[in-house]
Structure 1
């Protein structure tokens, strides 16, 4: 009796992640890997220092919401954005999926933000 391999209806990469990359017949492994890799925000060393110095705490739920909005903004052509949350302002490169810097809202009020092409206001 010959053994047969039963086809799997899922792409192998989908089994490793919670999200499902958009897979078409022409989708390359590099494209799928890039989509998975860019899913989570990275925090630059500078931003990590600022978050720590300024005692800015962002919950996992807030980070998840920020990630979703940054991805949405990137799809709309935003490369660098100002993200305003309840007690902080973050500058995030949507293109690189990286938090560049962070400050509390009191500091942000006296700043001029340049080189951003989008703003995300979170509840």
Structure 2
């Protein structure tokens, strides 16, 4: 009888650990595999301004945006050597882009974070 009483408790502990592990794996997979989306507006700006970023730079930006999102940042200014990007961290979307020279004369409003990368 004592063995039967412990069985459900043991099973509940195993299920709780499995659910916790699955949740952790799912969150890590979703966060690490989320690629930035580029809005039509941002794509037009990137093309017009002949801004190209390497795959490595995009990957670094994605990691930083993921970190920013975890800290509650919604809209972020991201400065890289080639460009200034406004990215909605919540939706993982590049909103607009400009080259660094153009960015020097701009005022950025309605952002809740800035990421400066070299």
Q: What TM-score results when the alignment is normalised by the length of structure 1?
A: 0.72
In the other structure, the counterpart of 1:96 is 91
Q: For 2:20, what is the secondary structure of its paired residue? A: coil
Q: For 2:79, what is the secondary structure of its paired residue? A: strand
1:68 aligned onto 2:63? yes
**Deviation per CA, 1:60-98, whole angstroms, max 9, x where unpaired?**
000000000000011011110000000210000000000
Give the one of 45, 48, 62 matched to 1:53: 48
Q: CA RMSD in A?
A: 2.1
Alignment of 1:1-123 (within 5 A): 24=20, 27=23, 35=30, 39-123=34-118
Higher helix share: 2
Gaps of 5+ in 2: 1-18
